[in-house]
Amino acid sequence: MDYLAGLNPSQRGAVEQTEGPVMIVAGAGSGKTRVITYRVAHLIRKGVDPFNILVLTFTNKAAKEMRERIMSVVGQEAKNIWMGTFHSVFARILRVEAELLGYPRNFTIYDTDDTKSLIRAIIKEMNLDDKLYNANHVYGRISSAKNNLISPQEYNKNEAIMAEDIANGRGQLGQIYMTYAQRCYRAGAMDFDDLLFKTNVLLNKHPEVLHKYQHQFKYLMVDEYQDTNFSQYLIVKRLAAVNENICVVGDDAQSIYAFRGANIQNILNFQKDYPDVRIFKLEQNYRSTKMIVNAANSVIAKNQNQLEKNVFSENEDGEKIKVTRAFSDNEEGKIVAEAIAQERALKGLKYKDFAILYRTNAQSRAMEEALRKINIPYKLYGGTSFYQRKEIKDLIAYFRLTFNPNDEEALKRVINYPRRGIGDTTLEKILVAADKQQYRLWDVVVNAPMFLDGRSAGAVGNFGLMIQSFQAVAKTNSAFDTAMHIAQHSGILKDLYEDKSVEGLSRYENIQELLNGIKEFSEREDIAEKGLDVFMQDIALLTNDDNDKDPNADTVSLMTIHSSKGLEFPVVFIVGLEENLFPSQLSLNSRSELEEERRLFYVAVTRAEKKLHLSYATSRYRWGTLNNCEPSRFLDELNPACLELDFQPRSSAGGAESFQSERVVWKQREADTFSKPKPKVVKTTSILPKAHVPTPGFAPSDTSGLQVGMEVEHERFGFGKVINLEGNKPDIKATIFFKELGQKQLLLKFAKLRIV
């Protein structure tokens, strides 16, 4: 059987061109991922050792699926391919090489919670204002520094960065970054960004290691290359430098991670990096109907920055795209749920043929409620991961301490859980003692009597002894026996067992579930190393989506558009197509941000194989307030010939014009709403600031005469004062201090401002 028969000539060309640099930049659904899969199978068929192949995917799930397909062609050999996300592959390499960087092989991977909790602790120690130094913001700065390979030392020496921080009133950021890095090092821990940053350090500082991996990975392939950041780009470039057998595939029109540092230039520069690159074009979309491809093309054509591509489909014409208007988010949920029930029955589909995609996680609530009401089974992707639940994290913290007692976030988490008489004051004393003398927390714990008095020294000392006893157990026992021993002797199992509330019961069951998972792991026959430490490495990088216990379960999929990348479903619903939600209100300040939102919409549309539904609500609760919404501009941008409106258009014209008239009507309704008594608002508790309700009759004014010191009102951000103006017409940037939201920079030509 010709195993390459399922490829068209260009795909086949790209598969057979195994030597030298290859780039495939092609539209959605054109078989890029398929090419990588076949290419790997082809290499192995040609006799390449799977150990010499490295494939980098965007999710663990994608890697798993690819491996299964390759296995069906080449058999068990496929197990030996190096395949996974950047983070999982390089975490594995760092385990082997950690000692060269001064880290233990059993280093801990700090997740986002650990990272933020450590950052918060440092901000507190430095007596900084935690509103100005918001942990999320600080984390973002540190993350972005690492992804641009700026070390703490370089950060603090870089005058431009320091000047920027000082101008923003956050002059201490460099010091926080420095302390954060020292603390992670002291704890033998790396955060997610470190997995890439330290890999770069490793390959840069240790030529012999670089040499080893350059020769190990004779063939490299990267899927979704448009979403790699600088740090990832450089790793790939270094590893490929000797053999140059590198194949990257991507689609500039689907680049949706710029906010996380992804750099579309990586695609554009590939040709410069490898002048003899072979470029393959894939233009035929095999996924979607002509209608859907046509609609997707009409949207993306509105972006100025894109590579020319001609995407076509030879599939059936397909049904028109249905657009539905709902009065509220709850009604939108109801409409979607009912449409799923109906379409499933009518077309003989399964629940798993349907996906509901949304811009923000918060939108899942209305959808979930509606699905539950009529008993439609669903699975929520990207929700709280099993491994992020409190009870699971608690037990895992004990495991982490057992293998790396220097892990300070784990230590702080469980030193007094379950309660053993070590109060906050004692913990504070331990922290201060460690800090003063630059000891590790663990050193203070095992030498408790030197630092603490009587009773607390006893309690802390016993905690240390307990962890040491776990270490002894782990040395000679299986993963499951060790885990069970720790669950019992730490007191966690008993603590949860005694809690007879419904939540307590479910927490107890979750622990059981974790232990079952470890049992299965201990009994696996396909891996040689089955210690609890190996299990821990596996789960540190898992997300909820990878933990899909039964991928064949018949359930509707609910997820954000970001997590739908690379996937496909026969029927797709994109919900919440409203201005300020999609496109997001945070993206309206510049063209590049708006273009990224549009690419996100393009990704969403191109997930659909046979039928696409779009919907919007005319009112929606956001931040506890009922807001009127207007239809998204993206609806106007779709080719009107592809649309079928599920409501009476307000003007006689069809398609796009209807949405514009919707907007006019909306404006009118808004005016009515604000002149009448406000609609009854059901209060929901929220800690977020309320969305601003513009003054009745709000209309943006001419801002050409705007001066520093003037008071303004912004449509959404509320009232504020201009504190700086810079740049030349028409690109003048205003820095405005908003009463509710603090400081923001806006491009005047886009900002809807009213001079008060």
Torsion sign (Cα): 585, 591, 593, 599: positive
318 binds ligand ATP, rule: CB under 6 A: no
Tokens standing for residue 538: 């596996």
For residue 348, the minimal CB distance to ligand ATP (Å) is 20
Burial readout 425-447 (b: 16 or more C-beta within 10 A, e: otherwise): ebbebbbebbeeeebbbbbbbbb
Q: Which residue has the tokens 């993963």?
A: 479
Residue 295 structure tokens: 């609609």
DSSP three-state, residue 696: coil
Nearer to Mg ion, 227 or 715 (CB): 227
Judged by CB under 6 A, does residue 62 bind ligand ATP? no
524 is catalytic: no
**Which one, 32 or 400, has the nearer CB to ligand ATP?**
32
What is d(CA 716, CA 197) in angstroms, rounded to the nearest whole number? 38
Q: Which of 31/655 has CB closer to Mg ion? A: 31
Among 61, 87, 146, 287, binds ligand ATP (CB under 6 A): 287
Residue 202: both structure tokens together? 């490793």
Q: Is the dihedral of CA 29, 35, 40, 45 positive or negative?
A: positive
Active-site residue flag, 227: no
Catalytic-labelled residue, pool 224, 409, 609, 637: 224
Query: Residue 152's binding partner, choosing from Mg ion, ligand ATP, none, with beta-carbon cut-off 5 to 8 A by kind?
Result: none
Q: Using an 8 Å Cβ cutoff, are 539 and 387 in contact?
A: yes
Q: Answer positive or negative: Cα dihedral of 494, 495, 500, 502.
A: negative
For 619, phi and psi rounded to 5 degrees?
-150, 150
Residue 607 a catalytic site member? yes
Contact status: 31 vs Mg ion (CB under 5 A):
no
Contact call for residue 566 and Mg ion (CB under 5 A): yes
Contacts 24+ apart (CB under 8 A), 738-744: 738/714, 740/689, 740/690, 740/692, 741/689, 741/717, 743/168, 744/717, 744/720
User: Is-catalytic flag, 443?
Assistant: no
| Known catalytic membership, residue 224 | yes
The yes-or-no answer on residue 254 being catalytic is: yes
- Tell me, what DSSP letter sits at residue 750? T
Instruction: Based on the shown chain and the rule CB under 6 A, indicate whether residue 57 belongs to the binding site for ligand ATP.
Output: no
Q: Is residue 33 involved in binding Mg ion (CB under 5 A)?
A: yes
- Count, residues near ligand ATP per rule CB under 6 A: 19
Q: Tell me which residues in 538-567 interact with ligand ATP (CB under 6 A).
A: 566
Instruction: For residue 354, report the phi and psi dihedrals to the nearest 5 degrees.
Output: -110, 145
Contacting ligand ATP (CB under 6 A), which of 21, 29, 517, 720?
29
Is 564 annotated to bind a ligand? Reply is no
- Within residues 112-151, the interface with Mg ion by CB under 5 A covers none
Of 208-216, 565-573, 696-704, 746-754, the window that binds Mg ion (rule: CB under 5 A) is: 565-573
Q: In the complex with ligand ATP, which residue's Cβ is closer, 67 or 334?
A: 67
The verdict on 6 binding ligand ATP (CB under 6 A) reads yes
Q: Which of 21, 32, 228, 398 binds ligand ATP (CB under 6 A)?
A: 32
Q: Does 106 bind Mg ion (CB under 5 A)?
A: no
**Closest residue to Mg ion, Cβ-based?**
33
**CA nearest neighbour of 540 among 382, 418, 417, 385:** 385
For the bound state, the minimum distance from the C-beta of residue 552 to ligand ATP, rounded and expressed in Å, comes to 17
DSSP letter string, 342-401: HHHHHHT--GGGEEEEESSGGGHHHHHHHHHHTT--EEETTSS-GGGSHHHHHHHHHHHH
Binding residues: 26-33
Binding residues (CB under 6 A) for ligand ATP: these are 6-8, 11, 26, 28-34, 251, 254, 286-287, 566, 568, 606
Binding residues for ATP: 26-33
Binding residues (CB under 5 A) for Mg ion: these are 32-33, 566
Enzyme catalytic residues: 32-33, 223-224, 254, 607
